[in-house]
Structure 1
Amino acid sequence: MRIEFSEFVPRPVEQVYDFFKTPADWVRLYGLVGEVKNRGDGWYAVPLKRFPFPLVAKITTLEPSRLVRWQLGGFWRGTGEVRFVLKPGGVQVEGYEELEARWLPGLSRMLERLFMEREFQRIWSLGWSRLRSGEAASTLSDS
């Protein structure tokens, strides 16, 4: 499954970038639903609401306030990236996340369409909404 996005966020690029620097920061976008676990060597297990398996991810490319790329492991496999483009009044965040369930290769596409794609779209939508409203920023200051 591939989720693509291009979202305008009316905040300074540095503030938006802070939410993507490590997988441990991602929970600020959609809310903490469990403990983020550092698995070492840059890998983090990030709990996901409505999913029994965490998103295990590692940052592979980090260009401050410009680009973040990651790799997924564990139950999920895939890649993703966000690019930050300065715009008047904020930043345009463009990118994608491509993932599949590693252990279900034959059923993966069908299950993705029926059960997972909508939930991952919802998670990303919640994150964009929280960034725009400032709710995610208040979470950042609490941590």
Structure 2
Amino acid sequence: MNEAAKTYWENYWGDKERPETVSAWMFGDSPDELAQLVIEKKKTATCSAHILYELENEPLPTTEDYSVILNSQEEPVAIIKTVKVEIVPMDEVTEEFALAEGEGTYEEWKAAHVRFFKQELKEVHRSYSEDMLLVCERFTLIDVKK
């Protein structure tokens, strides 16, 4: 976590006991636009490729996780808390979940995610498939940086 995110996190909690699990990250293709959707409470879900957690030996998200959302300049803009995590094949993601990502219709969501995952997987010498597993997260907005 960079210094700006760490300072924001610490200032948000002040003297209160802080949760142990926090990370700082930005959304994939268009971090500024997606962070703004979170701030506007239009985006309450996100997903990522399960295989990338395996390849990077990263733990899967849990409902104990908090995240500092960064913009494209790696500046903190909000804090979210993960409230639900499911592993779902790409071709079984529901329209309701896709709409919760706040990025348009189900068809727009799918086209954007197919494009994004194909590129992301190509970088690690893997191929996209319709039944690839996704880590689907629901989250709630905790704070917006003033």
Q: Same fold (TM over 0.5)?
A: no
The structure, 1 or 2, with the larger RCO (C-alpha pairs under 8 Å, 6+ apart) is: 2
Into which bin does the TM-score normalised by the smaller protein fall?
under 0.3
Name the TM-score, length of structure 1 as normaliser. Answer: 0.28
